[in-house]
Structure 1
C-alpha cells in the first residue's frame, strides 16, 4: 500500500483506506466486477492524477465512475466545476453528501448525473466539460473515451486510468505489436500518450492487473469524412490481421480489385497490413472511397 496511514492524514479532505472501507460499509456497497468497480484509496495517487491532468482554473471536469469520491475530492479544488457521471444509484446519491462533509467550501462546484457514461450526450450535462479525468472501469474504458470524444466537442483534454495493457493499445503508434483499432480511433480525435504506471495496491479491492494513466489532447479535425465510415474501414482493416489490405478490405470495398484500386489511389500499398498504417493513411483511403 503506497500510503501507510489508515486515513488521508490530519485535516485532510481526501479519503484514505479506512475512510473508503467505512463509507462502503455504511452504504452496504460491495464492489462488483460487472461494473468494473475498484475504488482508489490512496491520497498520494489521486494527488498525482490531478497534477498530471494539468487542469486550468476555468476547466469543467467530467469524471466518469466517481465511486466513493476519492478522486472527486482531489479534483474539486483544481477546477471551476465538476460533473460526475455515476451509474450506481447508491453511490450517485451519496457523493454530494461526502463532498459536503469533507469539502463544504467546494460543494457548489459538484454536479452529479446518475446514468450510464455510454449514453451521455451534451444536453444531459449541466455544464460543457473541457477535461475528462477518471478512473475508468476496465471493461468499458475505450468505448467510453471514444463515445465522449464523439458526443462532447467541448472536451479539450483527458487523463484516464485504465488497465495497463489497454493504455498501451490506446497510445500505440503504427508498427507496434499492440497497435490496433483503439489506437487508430483515438488518434482520429486526439494525440495520446502513456502518462505513467499505477500500482494495483492503491485500489480496493486489489485488481489482478496493473493500471496506467493515458493522457490525450484533442487536435483539429483531420478530415470532413464521415466518422462512422472511417471507423468501419478501420474495423475491416484489423478484422483479419494476417491478411494484406487488399484482402482485408475486399468486403468493405466490394471486391479485392476495388480494394486495390482504392488503396493505390490513396497512395497505400495494397500488400501492406493494417498495423502499418497511421490514422492519416486511413483518412486518405476513406476520402477516396467516399468520392466514388
Structure 2
C-alpha cells in the first residue's frame, strides 16, 4: 500500500490526533521558550529578549538559599511518604472490587471511591478544616465531649503529616483504581477457573494470577510516580498547610509561588522550575533503567 493510499484510508485516526498534538505543542513545548528566563535578569517591561543575560548567577543565588533546601527536603519527603501510602491503595481497592460478586454494591462502591477525585482541593481543604480543626472540627468536638484533649491534626507538624497523607490517599485512590480495573479486565478469566478447579483459594488466585497480570501496569505507574518525586502540586500543601506546620508544608511549589508571584523574582522561580524538570527527567530515566534491568518491564 502506498503512503498516499494509507493516509486516505486512515486519515480519520490521524485527525483525532490533532487536538492532543495541539495541546502538547501549545501548553507543553511552547512554554519552553521561557526557560531562558532562568539565565537572564528578567524585566517584565523589557520582555524575555530585552532582559540582560546573567548566565548561572540566578542558579548560584537559588542554591545558596536555606529555604530552597528546606522546601526540597519537604517535597522529597512528602512525595516519598505519599508513594508508600497512596501507591498501594488503588491496587488493593481494585482487587477488592474485582473480587466482589454483588454487582449493585460493587457499582455503588466504585462511584463513592471516584467522587473525591473530581472535588477541587479548595473544597477538600474546607472539608478538612471542618472535620479536623482543633477548635471547631467535628472529630475534636466529639473527642472533647468525651472528656479527652483535642488532637492538633492541623497545627502539630507530625499530626499534620499523617492527616496530609490520609487525605491525599482518600482523594486519589479511586482514580487509580480505574486504571487497575481496566488492566484486570485483560486477564484471561479461564486462568481463574482453572486455578479454582485445581483447588486454589481466593488469595492464592490473587497472588499467582491477579498480581502477575497487573505487573506491567504496576511498573509503569511506579516509574511515572518516581518521575514526580521532585515535583509536587501546589493546591494540596497550600490549602491544607498553615504557618504552624510550615516546617513540613512548605514545598517547592509554594516556594516558587512566594518568590515568583508574590515577590516578582521571576528569574529565581524559573530556575527552581527548570531544576525540577531536569531532576524529574533523571528520576524517570533512572527508574525506567532499573526496572528494565530488574524486571524486564519499562516504558521506553
TM-score bracket relative to the smaller structure: under 0.3
TM-score (norm 2): 0.19
- Scaled by the length of structure 1, what TM-score is found? 0.19
Q: Which has the higher helix share?
A: 2
Larger radius of gyration: 2
Q: Which has the higher contact order (CA 8 A, sep 6+)?
A: 2
Answer 1 or 2: which has greater strand percent: 1
